[in-house]
Structure 1
Amino acid sequence: MKITDHIDLLYPNKEARERAERRRIQMRDSGSLFIKDLMLEDIKNFITLTGSEKLLALCEELSDDIPTIEYRLDCLEDHLNNPDLADSFRKVITELSVSLVSNDNEDVGAFYDVKQKMDELDGFLTSIAAINGIYKRIGTTLKSQAMRGMFEFFLALPESDDYKEIAKTLTELQGTFAKTIRSVKVGINFDANMNPDSAGLLEVGYDKIYPKGNILEKIVYGVQKNKETFSGEEHLNSLTRHTPADIDTALFRELTEYTNVFAKRISETLKSYRSSFFSDIKEIERQLDLYEGVANFIKGVRAHGMKMCRPKILPASERRTVLNGAYDLVFYKEMVMRDPSAVLTDKIKTNDITLDDSARLYMVTGANNGGKTTFARACAICQVLAQAGLFVPAEYAELSVCDNIFTHFPRDEEAGIDTSRFTNEIKDLKVIAQNMTKHSLVILNESLQSTTPEECLEIAKIHTELFAAAGVRGLYVTHLTGLYKAFEELNKKDYPTKLDSLVSVAGEGDERLYKIVRQPPSGESLAMSIYKKFGATLDDIKSGDVNG
């Protein structure tokens, strides 16, 4: 039995899981690099250590199935609002896993090993009872279909035939093992030549069988009346009596082999019971780890004075993005690593953005080191986390699902013929153009900067028109401020995406404010202010003989 055949915390039904499998293949084949460019590998463990791989898998999936996304968001809210899910339920699931995921490949050497496996299965029954007790405490507070379904699954188990059979068998076995087995009767068959041919266990006894002895021994040792006795010599087991090995007989060796076979039979029966339940218990643990980890992360973010919100998920057809108070989780991580106890409200600047009919693609210009890349990455990470079914780093968010996120960030130049940075950029942008649709999100970060400014500007105009004609949403971080002059003509062409400008503004004395404002570009990147602060001057040139 698989729990996920009945209830899955990530997908509301079998059809949703199958759709997700197709989606993963589609995303893998699309050539999108958003996981790398948005540095999601770098922050997955920061968000949740135990659930990091599951988190990354959901980001890579980039689900566009709104019922699945809402299903996950509801489940996450339950984990945020019900501490008992982490404090009690998750612990019981761990105990349940331990009781079910036994090492069935180990040899069963004696009834002691069988007793251990019985205890493991008894732990299973105890865990089910504990889960039902937790539901009585918090069941009415659960809102998500996922968590209600999980508890309903466990509540129904005691009524199943398999569960009843396990409980009955364990009760009988425990009754037997509760008594001290002191002896067994073994029947041995011989062939015509009186060679032992076969043997079988006849009876389990709870009293020892005593040596028959002679009259003197009966008087001296007081063998009790009505106690069964051996008809021949009593052989002693050197292992239990700590006597020389030559007292061992084939009887004990044969009996040991037989009891081991019998123990293995009981073990196999218990194994079949165990395998009939929850073959995918580890998958459920991973799903719970994801939700618990993300819920704890959100609480931590809020403790640092920052916001995380449940996004409002819109249909792809609306092609709309609204983010208020958004910020970059990569930068947030850096700040927390510097000072884990800091309140970051005044240290991390948040920004707003709307992508809709008035403008869906913005060029982003302004001061160097003014937060342009951080802003673009923040917007894209919000989109990824929303479609993963998780909260986003913003005060408020409305996001239409997109079919893909295409990113283009600066890369190291490769060596070889026809592999210049400019050549690679053009090839990368062509792949994006061939795969994007009106439901795609495109994030370009300082693309087309590796040839002459005049040529870069002309090629940027070509690609900007391609984006407008395709109808994408997106941001283009660039220093090509002259590109804005082309927007008026492009917007007259009635393309499905309108173009506009955002600027990272500076304060007095070129102070970086890290605020992104909708306005025409200023034509200045304020690079000179950075140079004055960090660059070389004549004073840095050493005079005199360099060898002196």
Structure 2
Amino acid sequence: MADISLLYPKGKEVSTMTLTEESINDLSVDYIVESLTKDIYEKNSIKKILTNLTCDIDVINYRADVFEDILNFPELRDGLVELLKKLEDLRELEKFNKDGDASSLWQLINRLREIDGYVLCITMLKNILNTIPIKSQGLLDLKQTIEDIYNNGGFDILKKDIDETMAKAQNLKSVTIGVNLDSVLKPKNAGVISLNNFEITNSGILKNFMGFTGSKEELNSDEKVLSSHKLHPANPSLTRMKFGSAQQGANTNVHIDTSGSATGDDPLSQSLKKVVTDILKRMVKSIKATLQKYVNISGYSLVGLMPEIIFYIRFAELVDKMKEKNLPVCKPLAVPDDRVAYGEDIYNIKLAIKRTKGEEFDIIGNDITFDDEQRIYVMTGPNRGGKTTFTQAVGHCFLLAQAGIYVPATKFNYSPVDNIYTHFPADENDTVDLGRLGEESKRLSDIFKVATDKSLLLLNESLATTNVAEGVFIAKDVIKAMAYLGVRSVFNTHMHELAHHLDEYNSDDSYRSKVQSLVTGMKDGHRSFKCEIAPPQGVSYAKDIAEKYGVTYDQIKKNIDNR
């Protein structure tokens, strides 16, 4: 089981690049993950997978096929959800078994429960995968592995042994402990009187104690009852106990919980733990003899599938909700071509999440092309015209696609990126030492130290200082550097001048990426949120807005004259 993964094909070396904290924040990864689940373990699992980017096409396509199976077969998803509950039990058991203070008896019982859980999970997986026409290599490999285990001649023997041994262990319901008291009724030592196949049902210890001492005739004077049992000294800390507390009494009954709950940590329980373990030697020996045959069997190997199953299921649930809202989604196609991408009707998944939560608004899809004619876009447009939303959407498409998840688009074919670097406005608190321009320049420098021609760079209002001339000067060099390196990029900015120098950027034959102007438009005085390749419109946006609100000179003059 250790070699089975739903994220990586057999024999594939695990190789990923981790998103920077800036990229995680700028792409709103935490917001996306929060929308999928509220469980801390699940959130951490999903985020870890999502932010460790692979650009291996075989791995990406392997994941995409697994996700498609889980998305297309709700009954498969339902079965895996039930399996997750059993795997969660194993995960909790694994944490308990790491407790160094647990006695050998408890470790043995939980080892028995572990193998029992392993048998149950193997059986569940077999039943789940055999009833559904799965197609992905990942799930087919898992199915074959489970079949091999289940059909192995030793598996039936394992099930039989575990069933019998578990029944034997679970038949123990209670242990009766005898406690010797000193003259002031403090426990001196203790021994086990009997092992019982029934649960103790008598009422409180103090009432029990007082009942036995109610008359002299009811006191037991037979000393032989403990003659064959080893007595263990009481814990010295018991001298600090209050009389009548639940930790002391005569003929104390201790119930051994085989459900996995930890034993009591009170002083008397701790001192009696060894007593119980010693007296159960024959039972322990029997369990050990059974389990020693299965030293290489571990239910925890199955637990390793939990994060992967959770990852696919939670995203499948989100995609289902997006479909219910008639939002387009598609299976992305990873291609080996060099530094390309063709996306149709892409949109920001954050908008989709808001729609699935009941918010009503229109979502406008846009196309994007990265190829030899355009790999870097200088994007301009009005404030609140969708520039940042679009820039994020491009990053989301690559991020989800390379994780194997359907993307918010009608089509997305792409060659993978080796990482996504973002440069969004910094928190004002982070710019105290260097100033905003200095801080932003340093972050850009750090990006260029690690980015390659396979990287995606997303710049959002970068270098937007109060001194426009300074910002334009540095930004032009940044665009040239990106073109020389050969990256794919969207640089949205209010500095329209940057988009007026396409000839300067594209005339140098040493540059490996060509630069194009992309604008978000206005229609009838309203923001259309549609992007198109066009020269920057500059003051035309202001003209549209002025006409919409009636503040052009001609409109104002006319109103004055009419008064």
Q: TM-score range by the shorter chain?
A: 0.7 to 0.9
Partner of 2:268: none
Report if the CA contact (8 A) 2:32-2:350 is conserved: yes
User: What's the secondary structure of 2:135's corresponding residue?
Assistant: coil
CA distance in 2, matches of 1:383, 1:293: 19
Seen in structure 2, the aligned counterparts of structure 1 residues 514 and 180 have a Cα distance that, compared at 3 Å, is: closer
Is 1:307 matched up with 2:328?
yes
CA distance in 2, matches of 1:285, 1:162: 26
Tell me which amino acid in the other structure corresponds to 2:136.
S
User: What's the secondary structure of 2:280's corresponding residue?
Assistant: helix
CA distance in 2, matches of 1:388, 1:413: 33
Tell me which amino acid in the other structure corresponds to 2:138.
A
- 1:136 aligned to 111, 114, 130, which one? 130
- 1:36 aligned to 25, 32, 38, which one? 25
- 1:524 aligned to 526, 539, 550, which one? 539
Question: For the aligned residues, what is the CA RMSD?
Answer: 3.6
Can you list the C-alpha shifts for 1:116-157, whole angstroms capped at 9, x where unaligned?
98677556445434433333322xx11111111112222111
Partner of 2:226: 250
Is 1:496 matched up with 2:518?
no
User: What's the secondary structure of 1:296's corresponding residue?
Assistant: helix
CA distance in 1, matches of 2:503, 2:130: 64
Partner of 1:45: 34
CA distance in 2, matches of 1:331, 1:378: 10
Is 1:441 matched up with 2:456?
yes
Report if the CA contact (8 A) 2:55-2:402 is conserved: yes
Report if the CA contact (8 A) 1:322-1:353 is conserved: yes
Residue 258 of structure 1 and its aligned partner are, at CA, apart by 4.9
CA distance in 1, matches of 2:167, 2:28: 59
Alignment of 1:381-396 (within 5 A): 381-396=396-411
User: What's the secondary structure of 1:370's corresponding residue?
Assistant: coil
Seen in structure 2, the aligned counterparts of structure 1 residues 171 and 491 have a Cα distance that, compared at 3 Å, is: closer
Can you list the C-alpha shifts for 1:47-78, whole angstroms capped at 9, x where unaligned?
35554323322332210111111111110011
Partner of 1:214: none
Partner of 1:462: 477
Tell me which amino acid in the other structure corresponds to 1:308.
V
Percent of pairs identical after alignment? 28
- 2:521 aligned to 505, 509, 514, which one? 505
Partner of 2:310: 289
- 2:423 aligned to 403, 408, 430, which one? 408
- 2:351 aligned to 331, 335, 343, which one? 331
Partner of 1:148: 140
Seen in structure 2, the aligned counterparts of structure 1 residues 460 and 244 have a Cα distance that, compared at 3 Å, is: same
CA distance in 2, matches of 1:68, 1:294: 18
Residue 393 of structure 1 and its aligned partner are, at CA, apart by 1.0
CA distance in 2, matches of 1:83, 1:137: 12
Tell me which amino acid in the other structure corresponds to 1:69.
I
Can you list the C-alpha shifts for 1:475-506, whole angstroms capped at 9, x where unaligned?
11011111222211221112211111111101
Seen in structure 2, the aligned counterparts of structure 1 residues 411 and 143 have a Cα distance that, compared at 3 Å, is: same
CA distance in 1, matches of 2:7, 2:380: 39
Partner of 1:16: 13
Residue 35 of structure 1 and its aligned partner are, at CA, apart by 1.2
Tell me which amino acid in the other structure corresponds to 1:56.
K
Can you list the C-alpha shifts for 1:242-282, whole angstroms capped at 9, x where unaligned?
87465463246449665422233344456664872232332
Report if the CA contact (8 A) 1:319-1:473 is conserved: yes
Partner of 2:48: 57
- 2:71 aligned to 52, 69, 80, which one? 80
Alignment of 1:89-488 (within 5 A): 89-92=80-83, 94-95=85-86, 98=89, 102=93, 103-104=96-97, 107=103, 121-122=115-116, 124-138=118-132, 141-160=133-152, 163-170=155-162, 173=165, 244=219, 246-247=221-222, 249-251=225-227, 253-254=229-230, 258-268=278-288, 273=294, 276-315=297-336, 317-337=337-357, 339=358, 347-414=362-429, 418-488=433-503
Tell me which amino acid in the other structure corresponds to 2:134.
L
Residue 109 of structure 1 and its aligned partner are, at CA, apart by 7.1
CA distance in 2, matches of 1:108, 1:336: 51
User: What's the secondary structure of 2:464's corresponding residue?
Assistant: coil
Tell me which amino acid in the other structure corresponds to 1:276.
I
Can you list the C-alpha shifts for 1:172-202, whole angstroms capped at 9, x where unaligned?
6479789999xxxxxxxxxxxxxxxxxxxxx
Residue 331 of structure 1 and its aligned partner are, at CA, apart by 2.8
Seen in structure 2, the aligned counterparts of structure 1 residues 471 and 271 have a Cα distance that, compared at 3 Å, is: same
Seen in structure 2, the aligned counterparts of structure 1 residues 271 and 175 have a Cα distance that, compared at 3 Å, is: closer
CA distance in 2, matches of 1:467, 1:415: 25
Report if the CA contact (8 A) 2:87-2:306 is conserved: no
Partner of 2:60: 69
User: What's the secondary structure of 2:491's corresponding residue?
Assistant: strand
Can you list the C-alpha shifts for 1:407-466, whole angstroms capped at 9, x where unaligned?
110012246775100111111111222322221111111111114222222222111111
Residue 12 of structure 1 and its aligned partner are, at CA, apart by 0.8
User: What's the secondary structure of 1:442's corresponding residue?
Assistant: strand
TM-score (norm 2): 0.72
Partner of 1:194: none
Report if the CA contact (8 A) 2:90-2:299 is conserved: no
Tell me which amino acid in the other structure corresponds to 2:122.
I
Residue 528 of structure 1 and its aligned partner are, at CA, apart by 8.6
CA distance in 2, matches of 1:532, 1:246: 107
Seen in structure 2, the aligned counterparts of structure 1 residues 330 and 172 have a Cα distance that, compared at 3 Å, is: closer
CA distance in 2, matches of 1:58, 1:180: 44
CA distance in 1, matches of 2:363, 2:166: 62
CA distance in 1, matches of 2:111, 2:512: 66
Moved more, 353-362 or 250-259: 250-259
CA distance in 1, matches of 2:321, 2:221: 69
Partner of 1:542: none
Report if the CA contact (8 A) 1:32-1:405 is conserved: no
User: What's the secondary structure of 1:319's corresponding residue?
Assistant: coil
Seen in structure 2, the aligned counterparts of structure 1 residues 329 and 129 have a Cα distance that, compared at 3 Å, is: closer
Residue 368 of structure 1 and its aligned partner are, at CA, apart by 1.2
CA distance in 1, matches of 2:279, 2:469: 88
Can you list the C-alpha shifts for 1:353-409, whole angstroms capped at 9, x where unaligned?
111111111111111111011011101110111112211111110111112212110
Partner of 2:555: none
CA distance in 2, matches of 1:151, 1:525: 61
Report if the CA contact (8 A) 1:108-1:267 is conserved: no
Seen in structure 2, the aligned counterparts of structure 1 residues 399 and 246 have a Cα distance that, compared at 3 Å, is: farther
Residue 352 of structure 1 and its aligned partner are, at CA, apart by 0.8
Residue 158 of structure 1 and its aligned partner are, at CA, apart by 3.2
User: What's the secondary structure of 2:434's corresponding residue?
Assistant: coil
Report if the CA contact (8 A) 1:100-1:121 is conserved: no
Seen in structure 2, the aligned counterparts of structure 1 residues 176 and 514 have a Cα distance that, compared at 3 Å, is: closer
CA distance in 2, matches of 1:440, 1:506: 32
CA distance in 2, matches of 1:244, 1:301: 74
Report if the CA contact (8 A) 1:118-1:270 is conserved: no
Residue 296 of structure 1 and its aligned partner are, at CA, apart by 1.0
CA distance in 1, matches of 2:384, 2:10: 47
Moved more, 39-48 or 288-297: 39-48
